Every structure is written in C-alpha cells, then in structure tokens.
Structure 1
Amino acid sequence: MANENKPNNKLIRPRHLKKLGIPGMIVILLLFIGVTVYNDNFAGNDDENSSAETSSDNVVTVDQHIDGDTTRFNYQGDTHNFRYLIINTPEIGRDGDEDDPYAQEAFERTQELLDNAQEITVEFDEEKTDQYDRYLAYVYADGEMVNETLVREGLATVDYVHPPNDKYEDILRDAEEEAKQNQVGVWSE
C-alpha cells in the first residue's frame, strides 16, 4: 500500500508523441507552421485572383447608346440592354414626340463618358435583371460611377428605388441634393 501513495515521477504523454521524441515533435511543429503559412499566402492570392476574375467578367463595351439611362452593351459574348440602377433621365421623344427637357444632354453626357472611357465595367446589386429582361447595373467609366455623375450634374434624378437593389441609394441621394443646391440641369428651372 505504501507504493500507492508514492508520486509517479514519469510524465504522462500520449504514446505516439513519446515515440517521436523531441526531434520528431519539432519536425511536426515546423511542418504545421509551414503548411499554415503556405495556405494563408495562397488563400490570399486566390481571393485576389477571384476578385480580378469577377471584375474582368463585368467589363463591357458599348454596342448601342439608347438614352441617358439605358445602354446596349456587349457582355459575356452577347449584347444586352442595361438599365442604370436607381436613376431616371429625362425621356427622349419617340414616334414624333418631343424630348423632355435635358433628355438630349443626358444622352450626350452618357455617350461622352462611355465613349471616352478606357474601360467600362458594370456592377450588379441583388437582382440582376428586371421584368423586361434588361440587366440592372451601376455603370462605371474608368472607375467613375456614371449613375452618380448624371445625378450630380442634374441630368438624372434618383428614381426607381426598389429594394433589395438599393446598395448606393444614399450616395445617389447625396449627389441629387448637391445638384439641387447647385441648381444644375433639371434643378435649374
């Protein structure tokens, strides 16, 4: 019974670690650290590459200018109409109707921004298309959001805000407030 109360001086280690010994545990630890660092580095690169692929997938070219807030773009091997999200430009007259005030200016400004751009990209919100099968997008000419530029210059108003497609509503409302204060475009009358 005296042996039962005697402290055990041996360290209790799992058998597999005991068999490896100190040098083996150091090798495993170094391998673990190396794999972790390797994965972290390449996971970061994969994220960057997938972001680049996503943005390059959204590069478009102009097929046809329709009006200030609609453009037909070449997109992923086909042509599609794109309606600019959260804005409305004055209507160009069709079938003999007169243009709304500033309709031609909005059309020409959109055309100018897009035709002078080195790169045009589109960004979708939650819903990619509308009931007319048009793509709904924020359009960028060399990184500048065309939707916002048109609103800020008084050539478009904030309109057709339909959640969940309202990601940039606040930015566009701020641009509209600025246009009103500066009394430009449709706000000059």
Structure 2
Amino acid sequence: MEEEPKDQRLEQDAYGNEEISDRLEVTVAEFIDGDTTRFNYNGSNESFRYLMIDTPETKHSRHGEEPYGHEASERTEELLSNAEKIEIEFDVGPKQDDYDRYLVYVYADGEMVNEILVREGLAEVKYVNPPNDTYVDILKNAQQEAQAANLGIWSEDD
C-alpha cells in the first residue's frame, strides 16, 4: 500500500534554522472554543485539540464561562477566519486524545496559533505529555512573556 504524499517543504523554525515541515492544509468546519476547532480533514469533519495549551472555558457544564474564555474563542476565530492558509502539524506522539480529538499545532498563515494565544495571555501551557512536546520551550517562553506583562489570564485584576 502506498503512503499518501506529505506536504513537506523547507521551513525556518523560531530560531532561523531550516527544517522539514509536515504541515497539512485544512479548512474550518466549526469553531468550538479557544483551544478546540473542527476542521475538514481527510474528507471529513473532525475535532482538533490544540497541543499543550488550555484556554478558559466558554461552555463548561460545571464552570460555565470562565474569565477570558470568550476572548480566547474570539481570538482563535479571528486568526483562522482572516488566514489565507490554515495548517495543522502533528507531533511525534499519539495523534488523538481519549476523546478522539486530533492533537495538533495549528498555523494561520505560517504563525502558530497555540503560541499566539499563550503570548497574548489567552491560554496557559498545560497538558504537556511527552513525546508530544516538541515546542514546549517556545510555548513556555511565550507564557513567561504574558505573565511578565500581566496579560489576559495573568492580569492582576482577576
């Protein structure tokens, strides 16, 4: 059986080093919340959870809407709606979680949405499960910047 061709190309990582990218282009099927989106993938509508981040809840059965949950959801929708190209990238570990959601890094026009949400104080680094932790240092640095600037969930007035 032949393996499907991958969308491989040379990219630059955050440090300017060239690397091969295995990103796959997708389209949005439905916005769920800040860290979960349904994408059209392999011919069907599938749920995707953004790796290593957690945004405040908007529709939680017990907690209801948490502070900054609405802002995180709106920001994710804005980034993806305005993107000409949306891509996903799997890490080297399990591709799905216990809820059958695909685990990915999401890119809007080449910029990692996971990192943008953390850097803007709309998500925290959470659920770091090796080996799905390739970009943990990038995300932790973004979180330190958001905390130092008291942005969003890290603001002092909450």
Q: Do the two structures share a fold, i.e. TM-score over 0.5?
A: yes
Is the contact between residue 113 and residue 141 of structure 1 (CA under 8 Å) also seen in structure 2? yes
Distance 1:56 1:170 in 2: 20
**1:51 is the counterpart of 2:17:** no
Question: For each residue in 1:22-69, what CA deviation from the matched residue of structure 2 results, as whole angstroms up to 9, or x when unmatched?
Answer: xxxxxxxxxxxxxxxxxxxxxxxxxxx9625x9687100000000000
In structure 1, the residue corresponding to 2:99 is in which secondary structure? coil
Matches of 1:184 and 1:172 in 2, distance apart?
Answer: 15
Q: Does 1:76 align with 2:39?
A: no
Residues 110 and 50 (structure 1 numbering): CA distance in 2 closer, same or farther, change over 3 Å?
A: closer
Structure holding more strand per residue: 2
- Residue 125 (structure 1) aligned with residue 91 (structure 2): yes
**TM-score under structure 2 normalisation?**
0.83
Identity value in percent: 59
Gaps of 5+ in 2: 1-5, 10-19
CA contact (8 A) 1:55 1:121 kept: no
Cα distance in 1 for partners of 2:61, 2:127 equals 24
Contact 1:57/1:76 (<8 A) preserved: no
CA distance in 1, matches of 2:144, 2:97: 27
Partner of 1:165: 132
Q: Is the 8 A contact 1:85 1:137 kept in 2?
A: yes
Taking the aligned partners of 2:99 and 2:49, their CA distance within structure 1 comes to 10
Between structures 1 and 2, the one with greater helix share: 1
Aligned equivalents of 1:155, 1:57: Cα separation in 2: 24
Q: Per the alignment, do residues 129 and 98 of structure 1 end up closer, same or farther by CA in structure 2, a change over 3 Å counting?
A: closer
In the alignment, residue 170 of structure 1 is paired with which amino acid? D
**What is the SS of the residue equivalent to 1:186?**
helix
Equivalence map 1:52-67=2 (5 Å): 52=9, 58-67=24-33
TM-score normalized with structure 1 length:
0.70
Q: What CA RMSD, in Å, does the superposition of the two structures yield over aligned residues?
A: 2.0
1:107 to 73, 95, 99: 73
> Does the 8 A contact of 2:119 with 2:142 survive in 1?
yes
> What one-letter code is carried by the residue in structure 2 that aligns with 1:115?
S
State the SS of the aligned residue for 1:71: strand
- Corresponding residue pairs, total: 140
Distance in 2 of aligned mates of 1:57 and 1:151: 21
Aligned to 1:183: 150
